[in-house]
């Protein structure tokens, strides 16, 4: 991590990521509370549908937007995406009916589907060394976990003095600050542009389609990358349950207030942050396969235990839910964070942007399924929804293990040497 933070460009980009994610975290808490205000116990349907709309934008637009902006300056695209997100966040406090949430979320996440894969593709160019890049991946995960911990904590503090709508204003401020920091950075040119992009260098619809399909074909066609496709379901299953169900579990089932929603989400984030901090050392001692499958098993087990935990009452129920949320966070981090290392090792440099865009979309296709199932099944029975999510996580874990065996990936030796 120190090697990554020693780079001045990366430091500013990382701070931009933190501020944008902090704003996004406030929006996640605020959106759940807004859904509960509009629909009460039916909030899981509203929130699950809203988050499914978010995933539709990710799944359908990330590869397309990667293709459309391929010839545009990356800095300008990143800034523009932040400004669009800022404008939408400023509109969310004006929502008075549930249906109004959906188009606003689609536009906001369309901008995120442009920003996130492009941001990920910048990192290997800013940090070409393996150690520095691995540290950056853990730092990026840490930033996401800071969103999951600090944003709910900040939301809980703000809710003592302001309304839910003011949390969306904080989201807008976070995106504005991110745009300003990106504007201050000298972002390197694309590797592909320097080496020539071959037949995909055009700008017509056929060229866009080729670039959008390339990343999908790369992930599906290389045995070393196929396990990622199966493993994507695991964080989505556990994480989707936490994100959609927390507001109703906290307020309706546990009888707690709005601040408890924020604290339970922070528990999941604390677990994920702990996983991110331990990950660099773990990856020096074990291959990605072992670390990621261990995290997947933890997510599956913790999700399966949610039903029994919800059968408890009083302080025991609150403590059990908090512990399981933290365990899901640890496993989520371990299963998801090393994906960037695997993509970087097995995808050609010129194809990295397309590979990241495809992984972004495919992983969020799993989140789309998770949000819809948790939102609609959970509105009928939270324990049943937990059992379904545990089954999906278990299936993803077993499929990934089988695909790694078929690919002949090492089971014990470290997957990559450290840079000298």
Least confident of 51-60, 225-234, 386-395: 51-60
Calpha distance 64→357 (Å, rounded): 9
pLDDT of residue 296: 96
**Contact predicate 324/301, CB 8 Å:** no
What is the full DSSP assignment across 305-348?
A: THHHHHTS-HHHHHHHHHHHHHHHHHHHHHHHTTHHHHHHHHS-
pLDDT for 191 equals 59
What is d(CA 28, CA 85) in angstroms, rounded to the nearest whole number?
A: 14
Is the model more confident about 274 or about 195? 274
- pLDDT at 342 > cutoff 90: no
Residues 232-250 have a mean pLDDT of 92
381-414 burial, b if ≥16 CB within 10 A, otherwise e? ebeebbebbbebbbebbebbbebbeeeebeeeee
In the block, which residue shows the tokens 């691995």? Answer: 134
Could you read off the pLDDT of 187-198 as tens digits, one per residue?
876 654 434 444
Of 29-38, 128-137, 201-210, which has the strongest mean pLDDT? 29-38
Q: What is the CATH number of the domain that holds 266?
A: 1.20.1250.20
Task: Count how many domains the chain has.
Answer: 1
Residue 209 has pLDDT above 70, yes or no: no
CA distance 373 to 388: 8
Q: Is 420 a member of any domain?
A: no
Distance CA 72, CA 51 (A): 29
Q: How far is CA 152 from CA 28, 30, 31, 259, 260, in A?
A: 9, 9, 12, 8, 9
Q: Give the pair of three-digit tokens for residue 11.
A: 């430091």
Task: Please state, in angstroms and rounded to a whole number, the distance separating the CA atoms of residues 418 and 420.
Answer: 6
At residue 304, φ and ψ (nearest 5 deg) are: -65, -25
Burial class (CB in 10 A: 0-12, 13-18, 19+), 198: exposed
**Do residues 400 and 293 lie in contact, with contact meaning Cβ atoms separated by under 8 Å?**
yes
Would you tell me how many other CB atoms lie within 10 Å of the CB of residue 234? 33
3-class SS of residue 97: coil
**Other Cβ atoms within 10 Å of 313 Cβ, number:** 10
- Domain annotation covers residue 192: no
Q: What is the pLDDT of residue 280?
A: 85
Residue 283 covered by a domain: yes
How far is it, in rounded angstroms, from Cα 388 to Cα 213? Answer: 31
Q: What is the mean pLDDT of residues 372-389?
A: 93
Pull the structure tokens for residue 60: 């359908």
Residues 6+ apart with CB under 8 A from 237: 299, 300, 303, 366, 370, 389, 390, 392, 393, 396
- CA–CA gap between residue 44 and residue 38 (Å, rounded): 11
Contacts of residue 80, Cβ cutoff 8 Å, sequence gap at least 6 = none
- Determine, yes or no, domain membership for 191: no
- CA 26, 27, 28, 34: dihedral to nearest 10 degrees? 110
Measured CA to CA in angstroms, residue 413 lies from 114, 285, 292, 396 at distances of: 36, 8, 14, 23
More confident residue, 44 or 411: 44
Residue with tokens 């976990």: 145
Sign of CA dihedral 225, 230, 231, 236: positive
Inside any domain, residue 130: yes
> Could you tell me the pLDDT band of residue 112, with boundaries at 50, 70 and 90?
confident
pLDDT digits (tens, 9 = 90+) for 285-316: 888 889 999 999 999 999 999 999 999 988 99
Look up the domain containing 274 and give its range.
Answer: 2-186+202-407
Alpha carbon distance 243, 303 (integer Å): 13
Residue 304 lies in a domain: yes
pLDDT band at 86, cuts 50/70/90?
very high
**Residue 134 resides in a domain:** yes
Query: Mean per-residue pLDDT for 104-126?
Result: 83
């Amino acid at each position: 991590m120190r090697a990554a933070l020693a780079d001045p460009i990366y430091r500013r980009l990382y701070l931009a990521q933190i501020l944008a994610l902090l704003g996004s975290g406030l929006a996640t808490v605020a959106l759940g509370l807004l859904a509960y205000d509009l629909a009460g116990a039916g909030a899981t349907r509203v929130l699950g549908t809203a988050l499914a709309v978010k995933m539709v934008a990710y799944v359908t637009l990330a590869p397309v937007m990667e293709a459309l902006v391929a010839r545009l300056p990356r800095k300008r695209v990143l800034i523009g995406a932040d400004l669009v997100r800022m404008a939408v966040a400023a509109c969310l406090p004006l929502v008075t009916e549930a249906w109004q949430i959906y188009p606003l979320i689609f536009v906001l996440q369309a901008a995120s589907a442009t920003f996130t894969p492009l941001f990920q593709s910048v990192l290997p160019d800013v940090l070409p060394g393996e150690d520095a890049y691995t540290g950056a991946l853990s730092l990026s995960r840490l930033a996401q976990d800071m969103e999951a911990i600090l944003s709910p904590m900040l939301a809980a503090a703000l809710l003592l003095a302001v309304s839910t709508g003011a949390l969306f204003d904080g989201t807008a401020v976070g995106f504005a600050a991110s745009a300003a920091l990106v504007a201050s950075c000298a972002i390197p040119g694309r590797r592909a542009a320097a080496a020539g992009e071959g037949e995909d260098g055009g700008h017509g619809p056929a060229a866009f389609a080729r670039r959008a399909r390339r990343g999908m074909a790369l992930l599906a066609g290389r045995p070393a990358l196929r396990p990622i496709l199966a493993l994507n379901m695991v964080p989505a299953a556990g994480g989707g349950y936490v994100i959609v169900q927390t507001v109703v579990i906290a307020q309706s089932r546990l009888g707690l207030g709005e601040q408890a929603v924020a604290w339970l989400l922070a528990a999941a984030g604390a677990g994920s942050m702990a996983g991110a901090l331990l990950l660099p050392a773990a990856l020096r001692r074990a291959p990605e396969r072992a670390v990621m499958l261990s995290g997947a098993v933890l997510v599956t087990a913790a999700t399966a235990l949610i039903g029994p935990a919800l059968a408890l009452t009083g302080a025991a129920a609150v403590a059990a839910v908090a512990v399981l949320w933290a365990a899901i966070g640890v496993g989520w981090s371990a299963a998801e964070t090393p994906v960037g290392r695997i993509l970087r090792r097995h995808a050609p440099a010129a194809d990295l942007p397309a590979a990241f865009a495809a992984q972004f979309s495919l992983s969020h296709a799993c989140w789309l399924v998770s949000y819809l199932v948790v939102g609609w099944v959970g509105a009928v029975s939270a324990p049943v929804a937990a059992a379904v999510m545990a089954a999906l996580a278990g299936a993803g874990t077993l499929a990934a293990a089988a695909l790694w065996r078929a690919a002949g990936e090492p089971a014990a030796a470290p997957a990559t040497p450290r840079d000298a």
